[in-house]
Amino acid sequence: MGPGNDTGSSEFLLLGLSEKPELQPLIFGLFLSMYLITVFGNLLIILAVSSDSHLHTPMYFFLSNLSLVDICFTSTTVPKMLWNIQSQIKAITYGGCITQMYFLTLFGVLDDFLLTVMAYDRFVAICHPLQYTVIMKPWLCGLLVLVSWITSVLHSLLESLLLLRLTFCTDLEIPHFFCELSQMAQLACSDNFLNNMVMYLITVLLGGGPLVGILYSYSKIVSSIRAIPSAQGKYKAFSTCASHLSVVSLFYCTSLGVYLGSAAAHSSHSSAAASVMYTVVTPMLNPFIYSLRNKDIKGALKRIFGMAAIKEQLC
């Protein structure tokens, strides 16, 4: 298809992680397992928070929203990839590719915002414990989540509209297992300078801004913990934010590692393989981090499974 034709009727080809036929069953089984673990684990977190009144606090409200976003984030890419492997069809429609890119960008940015909001929650809890209930009121928690959603939706809408103005050449092969924004912009035959500038600028603002906020919050948290006289008090204060700090480190290390590593290697397939870390592995590990390091979550899950076992015995 030529660059002047209607791109709305064209298709993109997702080349996936590997084109070797003997590896497809292994990739299918691996990603199906990781996807089921991700959905099941995050659903358990949401169920535990919603069913236990002891967990109806700002911290667990943000955690349940993060789990929901992680499910949506993974669901934008993995099911399509599994379908392509099973059907041996790599094509995705132009509209489908734009839609996948829109939701992937939306939930990726929203994930970042929620981690920043959770860092602020831990900052207030440790640095201003006596004012915590006064500051972190339900309306403020809801407003923070709502603003995160609105900002993410507007950002994804802007990126999608800028992408729609581009025309594409005949070579529509994407060396990835999902429609990634920068990969699609590179396939355009028309001038994509504006797209690249907006993409880099927004990455700095929406990626660097939350990171600065998280680093500032934890610098204040560390200062407050160091001021606590007893070792037991320091450990108790640190344990309240250890899970969140682990998730933040995993999210940013994998994201930065992917883009820095792919830029150094100049390999699209290497970038696609590395992208698995933040699109699939990180959402899968988040429930384990929060459940294994959190007594409240473990207690709620035990009560849920205990009640289920009792009901089964009665039946």
Residues 81 and 207 sit within 8 Å (Cβ to Cβ): no
Residue 3 has pLDDT above 50, yes or no: no
User: pLDDT band at 124, cuts 50/70/90?
Assistant: very high
What pLDDT does residue 311 have? 62
Residues 70 and 42 sit within 8 Å (Cβ to Cβ): yes
**What are the residue ranges spanned by the domains of the chain?**
11-314
Choice among 44-58, 98-112, 125-139, 173-187 with the minimum mean pLDDT: 173-187
Q: pLDDT tens digits, residue range 240-279?
A: 888 888 888 888 887 776 666 555 544 556 667 678 888 8
User: pLDDT band at 98, cuts 50/70/90?
Assistant: very high
Place of tokens 């059907």: 87
Residues 280 and 30 sit within 8 Å (Cβ to Cβ): no
Fold of 11-314: Rhopdopsin 7-helix transmembrane proteins (1.20.1070)
Helix 231-265 crosses helix 268-276 at what angle (to 10 degrees)?
160
User: pLDDT band at 216, cuts 50/70/90?
Assistant: very high
Which among 96, 193, 196, 103 is positioned nearest to 155, based on CA atoms? 103
Q: pLDDT tens digits, residue range 278-288?
A: 889 889 998 88
CA distances from 209 to 153, 155, 157 (A): 17, 14, 20
User: Within 13 Å of residue 204, how many CA atoms lie on the same side as its CB?
Assistant: 5
